[in-house]
């Protein structure tokens, strides 16, 4: 009885679903625009010298943020915010840590701080992927692509740290 009542309360209309998706997308694009600003001010020769790599990097990061917003939207679509407090806090921490990693890695060239930051981001993304998997598998599969991107950035940071690029 209570579960059917709960499902009737949290059935959302199409307009509400579209509005919420665009809210998630706007938050993601805000963080992406901060990343583009950091990248434009960066003097890291590996990215700054190659225009194609710079465009590919920003495009992949845009895809990363869109996938983050899509997975959070799919998760929100089935559950209320009361049940998603932990997941939403992990999503927001991943957003902020990704932005901070780009600032420390690309702008400040502080490889140790950026390595610690990307390790926390990788850990949070793995934990979040396990939490999402318990609730909805489609969102977890979409989010696993984000985890792979974070793993790639971790490898990139390790290579830059070892070679002292």
Average model confidence (pLDDT) for the chain?
83
Residue 86 confidence (pLDDT): 92
- The pLDDT assigned to 115 comes to 94
What would the pLDDT profile of 115-154 be if each residue is shown by its tens digit?
Answer: 999 999 999 999 999 999 999 999 999 999 999 999 999 9
Residue whose C-alpha is closest to residue 85's, from 71, 95, 72, 97: 72
Task: Please indicate whether residue 107 or residue 138 has the higher confidence score (pLDDT).
Answer: 138
How large is the average pLDDT for residues 12-34? 80
- pLDDT at position 112: 92
Rama region for 12: left / alpha / beta (φ>0; ψ in -120 to 50; rest): beta
Q: Average the pLDDT over 96-110 and give the result.
A: 88
Decide if pLDDT at 77 tops 50.
yes
Q: What is the mean pLDDT of residues 12-23?
A: 79
Q: What is the pLDDT of residue 1?
A: 47
Dist CA 64 CA 146 (whole Å): 6
The predicted structure's pLDDT at residue 124: 96
Q: Which segments of the chain does DSSP mark as H helices, in order?
A: 2-9, 14-41, 45-48, 51-78, 85-102, 111-135, 137-163
Answer yes or no: is pLDDT of 8 > 60.
no
pLDDT at 27: 82
Averaged pLDDT, 14-27: 80
């Amino acid at each position: 009885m209570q579960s059917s009542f709960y499902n009737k309360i949290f059935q959302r209309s199409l307009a509400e679903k579209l509005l919420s998706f665009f809210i998630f997308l706007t938050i993601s694009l805000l963080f992406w625009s901060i990343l583009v600003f950091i990248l434009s001010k960066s003097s890291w020769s590996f990215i700054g010298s190659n225009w194609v790599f710079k465009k590919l990097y920003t495009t992949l990061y845009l895809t990363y943020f869109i996938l983050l917003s899509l997975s959070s939207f799919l998760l929100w679509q089935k559950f209320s915010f009361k049940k998603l407090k932990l997941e939403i806090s992990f999503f927001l921490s991943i957003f902020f840590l990704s932005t901070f990693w780009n600032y420390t890695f690309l702008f400040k060239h502080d490889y140790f701080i950026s390595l610690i930051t990307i390790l926390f981001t990788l850990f949070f993304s793995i934990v979040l992927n396990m939490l999402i998997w318990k609730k909805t598998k489609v969102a977890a599969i979409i989010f696993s692509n984000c985890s792979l991107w974070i793993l790639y950035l971790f490898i990139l940071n390790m290579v830059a740290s070892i070679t002292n690029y």
